Amino acid sequence: MASTRSSGRTTVVSLVIIFATAAAGCSGGGFLPFGDGPHSIAPSVLSSIIAQQSAEHGVNPQLVRAVIHQESGEDPSAISSAGAMGLMQLMPGTADAYGITDPFDPAQNVAGGTALLADLLRQYHGNVRLALAAYNAGSGAVARYHGIPPFAETQAYVRDVTSLYRASSSHP
């Protein structure tokens, strides 16, 4: 029962945040309806979180960093117009699925996002581009189009994250 209560609380909080975001006309960039959330994180703290979660989930830390940079600009309090939250821009359902109770907590958010990324890399047999497309547009869209969906946003996302990853890593 505790997980149902926690999941329900996360969903309610997420809905309140999404509603407040819409009411304020915020399209992202670090809006928190309940005060001034942290709009930055110390680079050493973020690096430590990324290193820990990357090692735990077997994902290249430079890939995790590239996703964080693209998703939120490294803003722990970022909220998208679609309701994605935190550093790795987790949707409420994704946060619930990965046991994240506070998507604005950098450690929890990176744990959930890295776990999702690891699952997608396994699902697509290590194909980084397909995993990134699924991270952005969902696995259903990747399956429906038998590859990277023809959405301009998703194609740009895959291109940009892949470019950031390659620039910071020796892994293609």
Which amino acids are annotated catalytic?
A: 71
Which residues are CB-contacts of 73 (< 8 A; sequence separation ≥ 6)?
Answer: none
Of the candidates 25, 5, 16, the one whose C-alpha atom is nearest the C-alpha of residue 85 is: 16
Residue 118 · residue 112 · CB < 8 Å: no
Contact 24, 35 (CB under 8 A): no
Task: Work out the angle at residue 162's Cα, subtended by the Cα atoms of residues 93 and 154, and round it to the nearest 5 degrees.
Answer: 50
> Are the beta carbons of 18 and 83 closer than 8 angstroms?
yes
